């Protein structure tokens, strides 16, 4: 019976995505040379990097190992994923490609107006949402007024014996309601 092997996936950080591995869960004392010596049994290594945090000067708990051959990278995943190194469990997977903000060359190679269309679409969508919310609030207020008007009219009929009931004649005017109504009219 053949042993299960890792299939080569698309994606990766280095020059060939199928040969670059992400190694996570590194202990603080692990450096490039330790990572290199850990993965060299699986095949020839092209590059090893352990990115450092600029503020602390320590690595960030992960690194990248780029192999010469994709079969070596697959063998390393098969053997090293969920294994221990210096008392910590490693996560070994194919590295995801580096994403540069602003396309392949970055923001500095794009004209200032490159994002104008997207910005305008987002602004129009946001304005539309605000308009819909404003309409919904106005409908709610109308429904509240109709509900209050019906109750006040019924109370006016029973208490005063009058027909109908205008808001001004129903009793004291709520000053906050008047302010809200004035704001909605705008």
The edge-to-edge listing of strands for the beta sheet with 20-24 is 45-49, 62-67, 20-24, 91-94
**Ranges 51-55, 102-106, 108-112: which has the least confidence:** 102-106
**Greater model confidence, 108 or 3:** 108
> Is 79's pLDDT higher than 50?
yes
Convert the pLDDT of each residue in 54-68 to its tens digit. 888 888 899 999 999
pLDDT band at 184 (very low <50, low <70, confident <90, very high): low
> Strands, DSSP E only, in the chain?
20-24, 45-49, 62-67, 84-85, 88-89, 91-94
Convert the pLDDT of each residue in 135-149 to its tens digit. 999 999 988 888 776
pLDDT band at 131 (very low <50, low <70, confident <90, very high): confident
């Amino acid at each position: 019976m053949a042993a299960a092997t890792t299939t080569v996936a698309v994606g990766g950080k280095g020059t060939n995505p199928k040969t670059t591995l992400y190694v996570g869960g590194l202990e603080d004392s692990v450096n490039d040379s330790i990572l290199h010596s850990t993965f060299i049994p699986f095949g020839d290594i092209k590059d090893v990097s352990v990115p450092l945090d600029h503020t602390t000067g320590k690595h960030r708990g992960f690194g990248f190992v780029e192999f010469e051959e994709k079969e070596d990278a697959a063998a390393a995943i098969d053997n090293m994923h969920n294994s221990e190194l210096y008392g910590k469990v490693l996560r070994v997977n194919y590295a995801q490609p580096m994403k540069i903000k602003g396309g392949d060359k970055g923001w500095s190679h794009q004209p200032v107006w490159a994002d104008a269309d997207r910005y305008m679409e987002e602004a129009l969508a946001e304005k539309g949402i605000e308009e819909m919310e404003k309409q919904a609030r106005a409908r709610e207020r109308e429904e509240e007024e109709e509900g209050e008007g019906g109750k006040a009219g019924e109370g006016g009929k029973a208490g005063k014996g009058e027909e109908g009931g205008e808001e001004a004649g129903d009793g004291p005017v709520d000053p906050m309601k008047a302010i809200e109504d004035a704001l909605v009219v705008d």
